[in-house]
């Protein structure tokens, strides 16, 4: 199983809503990532978790709150977003150590903030 599964695939939320994006992998990977991708742009790194601990935060606004409850799951909690936060949110995972080469990406959640 080389899949990274993201839910939901599409999400429309108002600026006062609270929602969560979910990501799951069963490849035994201990590094997980959130990326944000705007249209016609490359993915931009938001957060990296290593062994379920936050290791990189790319100065992301606090209205985005990541959570890694266990080694298979990664959440991104959203609150008080702005329309400019509308984008494709991609989750990825990779192995650690010497086996850490490529990252496997999910299909993404397309988020629209209205």
Partner 1 sequence: AQSVTQLDSQVPVFEEAPVELRCNYSSSVSVYLFWYVQYPNQGLQLLLKYLSGSTLVESINGFEAEFNKSQTSFHLRKPSVHISDTAEYFCAVRNYSSASKIIFGSGTRLSIRP
Residues 15, 96, 112, 114: which binds partner 1 (CB under 8 A)?
Answer: 96
* Among positions 17, 20, 50, 72, the unique one binding partner 1 when judged by CB under 8 A: 50
Q: Distance from first CA to last CA of the chain, Å, rounded? A: 36
Distance in Å, CB of 113 to partner 1, minimum: 19
Burial 74-90 (b: 16+ CB within 10 A, else e): bbbebeebeeebbbbbb
Distance CA 4, CA 6 (A): 7
Which of 21, 23, 31, 68 is the binder for partner 1 (CB under 8 A)? 31
Query: Cβ 98 to partner 1, closest distance in Å?
Result: 9
Q: Check binding of 63 to partner 1 (CB under 8 A).
A: no
- Among positions 76, 90, 111, 113, the unique one binding partner 1 when judged by CB under 8 A: 90
Gap between the Cα atoms of 64 and 77, Å rounded: 6
72 forms part of the interface with partner 1 (CB under 8 A)? no
Q: Are 89 and 21 in contact (CB under 8 A)?
A: yes
Distances (CA, A) of 88 to 11, 34, 72, 113: 10, 11, 21, 12
Contact residues for partner 1 (CB under 8 A)? 4, 6, 31, 33, 40-43, 45, 48-50, 55-56, 90, 92, 94, 96-97, 100-108, 110
């Amino acid at each position: 199983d080389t899949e990274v599964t993201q839910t939901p695939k599409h999400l429309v939320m108002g600026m006062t809503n609270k929602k969560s994006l979910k990501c799951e992998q069963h490849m035994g990977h201990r590094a997980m990532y959130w990326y944000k991708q705007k249209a016609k742009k490359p993915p931009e790194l938001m957060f990296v978790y290593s062994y379920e601990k936050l290791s990189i935060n790319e100065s992301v606004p606090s209205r985005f709150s990541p959570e890694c409850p266990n080694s298979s799951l990664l959440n991104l909690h959203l609150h008080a977003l702005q329309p400019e936060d509308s984008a494709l949110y991609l989750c990825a995972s990779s192995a650690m150590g010497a086996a850490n080469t490529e990252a496997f990406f999910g299909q993404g959640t397309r988020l629209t903030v209205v």
